[in-house]
Chain A
Amino acid sequence: MAKQPKSTMSRALVRRETISGYMFLLPSLIFFVGFVIIPMFVCIFNSLTDVNMNTAGMGNFVGLKNFTDLWQDATFKEALWNTFVIVIVSVPTVCAFSLWVSSAIYKLNGKLLSAFRCIFYLPVVTGSVAVTVVWKWMYDNYTGIFNYVLKDGLHIIDKNINWLGDPKYALGCIILILFTTSVGQPIVLYVSALGNVDQSLVEAAQVDGATNLQVFWKIKWPQMMPTTLYILVITTINSFQCFALIQLLTQGGSGTNTVMYYIYYTAFKLTEKAGHFGYANAMGVILAIFIGLLSALQFKLAKEK
């Protein structure tokens, strides 16, 4: 690593490094700036205007009107809350679940281990569109397999549950699908982290009479901290990728609206708000701030550890 502090580098060196650095960055920056950063700034700018589908140019500057309107918009508040719930519920459960699965499989022999790893990765690979086709049927109010098993198989319920139609369950159902498509990578990561734990420390602790649980929390867990943080980051990213599920399963109904869906809905659905791009962009800005705070928090945690 080029650890030498900046001050000792000569000016010429800095310039050379900067030039060559940017040469290497250039191809990536073209795409990053062109298709992420510029749109992001346009988004921020548009959120302060009344630009809509009809406006060819930039629209009129309206200040913070879109944001104050959003504050009054009950649907948006619900969507924001649901987005929050999805993150808060799915991130820890994905982490805990994948940790448990990994600790249960990492000592298995190679073939079995890799079989399990693959199986838990399958839903990620299958893709949300293909997966929703099945899940829609599994959740079906009349002929779905969940109701079939719970009612005719186990006799736990006596009336079919309308999984996707009932606001009590619908968001949970979406989170469950999201969950199955999120655990694949964390499991792979935890398996290898567990395998890399310093065995001499573990053995020393066992000699001292520590229980398995103690060994886990005192020795293994701290060593896996970097992995856990990385998993937190990717799982958070993943929990914002539930658009397809909502678009294909509930269209934002039954209390499953999210900001991601509501932006699309406002922009393109045939409603009175349709094509109010300024308004939709304002939601985008709020969502970006929300995510920015979340990432900042996670990286702060990462720095501290």
Chain B
Amino acid sequence: MKITSNRSKAYRIFSLIVLILLAVAFTFPLYWIVTGAFKTGQDIYAQTPHLWPTEWTMANFEKLFSRRSAPLFEIGALVGPTVPGVIRWLVNTVFMAVMAMLLTCITAAMAGYALAKKRFVGRTLLFSLIVCAMALPKQVILIPLLREMSALHLWDTLWAVIFPTVGWPFGVFLMKQFAEGIPGEILEAARVDGAGEVRTFATIVLPMVKPGIGALAIFTFINSWNDYFMQLVMLASNANFTISLGISTMQAETSVDLGLLMSGAALAAVPIIIVFLIFQKYFTQGITMGAVKG
């Protein structure tokens, strides 16, 4: 008995050391981006890595902010003041991610409820379609989607990125898992009380699937923020760029200027990480609850 406890103690210490090493490895890219953003050219291009900036500089951000410019917003004829391109990209990205999040949450909550609780014709077929389409990479439908967006005059607008994100049925799948947890009796009781469909949904279903909506919201937000591929194909003008696309375009333009790239990457990553850290608790709650039903 003593031996085993010693052994398990040793194992625990060992695993803690490995965990700490892994944690360092996983935080390293972020650490490198953030410190790199403030390094001088000499530090960044040094032949042996400098783990800590020998001198802190804002030069990279100055370059980043002066590189491109765009109006802050354009609402019809109303055009905002000219700001650095990256600011506009951030505005675009936030708009895109938030829109995708709202639309996904609303549509998925409704659809998930219907799939879980309604017995309607075509339900099985629809559900299998959803399951199959879930894993489908967007590259498969890239070309038809591009032509469709062009026909709808949505190409080179953020909507061309938002709509396919909303169409991706993972959210419906997730919300169905949550809605299945709603006891049928409650719904039945509501119906007996004479509550209409809309009221039942708003007052009974929605509150019960709230954790799921929370998780789906953050999930969609992060996914949309980082969905580089659709942005690459659908957005052409600088004023419509998102931050990921802006940074990757800069990477393509000047793989030469790492400092500029690091500052851009920092600007792309830090806001989303802050959002994640704020909502982290709800997120973990949500995704775990959604998975139980798997």
**What residues on A are CB-neighbors of B117 within 8 Å?**
1-2
Picked from B114, B144, B226, B232, the residue with its CB within 8 Å of the CB of A42 is B144
A105 touches B19 (CB 8 A): yes
CA distance A247 to B252 in the complex (A): 10
Contacts of B169-217 to chain A: CB distance below 8 A: 169-170, 172, 180, 183-184, 187, 197, 201
Flag whether B123 is at the interface (Cβ < 8 A).
yes
Picked from A31, A46, A127, A180, the residue with its CB within 8 Å of the CB of B26 is A180
A292 touches B132 (CB 8 A): yes
A227 touches B291 (CB 8 A): yes
CA distance A191 to B21 in the complex (A): 19
Given A28-B172, A130-B244, A227-B291, CB of A37 within 8 Å of CB of B133: yes
Q: Which of A69-77, A161-169, A294-302 contacts B (4 or more CB under 8 A)?
A: A294-302
Picked from A27, A129, A288, the residue with its CB within 8 Å of the CB of B140 is A288
Q: How far is the CB of B216 from chain A (nearest CB, A)?
A: 12
B247 touches A130 (CB 8 A): yes
A36 touches B136 (CB 8 A): yes
Q: How far is the CB of A253 from chain B (nearest CB, A)?
A: 15
B148 touches A260 (CB 8 A): no
Q: Which of A60-68, A197-205, A279-287 contacts B (4 or more CB under 8 A)?
A: A279-287
Q: How far is the CB of B100 from chain A (nearest CB, A)?
A: 10
CA distance A239 to B135 in the complex (A): 10
Flag whether B167 is at the interface (Cβ < 8 A).
yes
A127 touches B269 (CB 8 A): yes
B23 touches A116 (CB 8 A): yes
CA distance A191 to B285 in the complex (A): 11
Q: How far is the CB of B148 from chain A (nearest CB, A)?
A: 6
B291 touches A226 (CB 8 A): yes
CA distance A212 to B180 in the complex (A): 35
Tally of A-B residue pairs with Cβ under 8 A? Answer: 301
Q: How far is the CB of A150 from chain B (nearest CB, A)?
A: 13
B164 touches A36 (CB 8 A): yes
Flag whether B129 is at the interface (Cβ < 8 A).
yes
Flag whether B273 is at the interface (Cβ < 8 A).
yes
B143 touches A24 (CB 8 A): no
> CB-CB contacts of A85-106 with B at 8 A, as 1s and 0s?
0000000000000000100110
A125 touches B273 (CB 8 A): yes
Flag whether A25 is at the interface (Cβ < 8 A).
yes
Flag whether A157 is at the interface (Cβ < 8 A).
no
B26 touches A27 (CB 8 A): no
**What residues on A are CB-neighbors of B15 within 8 Å?**
104
Q: How far is the CB of B138 from chain A (nearest CB, A)?
A: 8
**What residues on A are CB-neighbors of B143 within 8 Å?**
43, 46, 267, 277, 280-281, 284
B272's closest neighbor in chain A, by CB?
A: A125
Number of residues of chain B lying within 8 A (CB) of chain A: 103
**What residues on B are CB-neighbors of A221 within 8 Å?**
none
**What residues on A are CB-neighbors of B115 within 8 Å?**
25
Contacts of A230-268 to chain B: CB distance below 8 A: 230-231, 233, 236-237, 240-241, 243-244, 247-248, 259-261, 263-264, 267-268
**What residues on A are CB-neighbors of B251 within 8 Å?**
129, 132-133, 248
Contacts of B19-41 to chain A: CB distance below 8 A: 19, 22-23, 26-30, 32-33, 36
CA distance A264 to B143 in the complex (A): 9
Given A129-B244, A189-B291, CB of A43 within 8 Å of CB of B120: no
A291 touches B276 (CB 8 A): no
CA distance A244 to B137 in the complex (A): 12
A134 touches B137 (CB 8 A): no
Given A133-B251, A244-B229, CB of A263 within 8 Å of CB of B140: yes
A24 touches B135 (CB 8 A): no
Flag whether A32 is at the interface (Cβ < 8 A).
yes
The listed residue with most A CB atoms (<10 A of its CB), out of B29, B118, B131, B251, is B29
Given A133-B33, A212-B8, CB of A264 within 8 Å of CB of B136: no
The listed residue with most A CB atoms (<10 A of its CB), out of B107, B222, B280, is B107
CA distance A288 to B32 in the complex (A): 37
Q: How far is the CB of A284 from chain B (nearest CB, A)?
A: 4
**What residues on B are CB-neighbors of A284 within 8 Å?**
139-143
A2 touches B164 (CB 8 A): no
B185's closest neighbor in chain A, by CB?
A: A1
**What residues on B are CB-neighbors of A142 within 8 Å?**
47
Known: A105-B19, A133-B251, A247-B232. 10 other contacts (CB 8 A): A2-B184, A21-B123, A29-B111, A42-B144, A119-B26, A142-B47, A145-B49, A188-B287, A196-B292, A226-B291
A-B contact pairs, 24 of them (CB 8 A): A1-B117, A9-B119, A14-B120, A18-B120, A24-B111, A25-B111, A33-B167, A36-B133, A116-B23, A118-B276, A120-B22, A125-B222, A129-B226, A129-B248, A130-B33, A143-B47, A180-B26, A192-B291, A226-B293, A243-B137, A247-B228, A284-B141, A287-B139, A291-B132
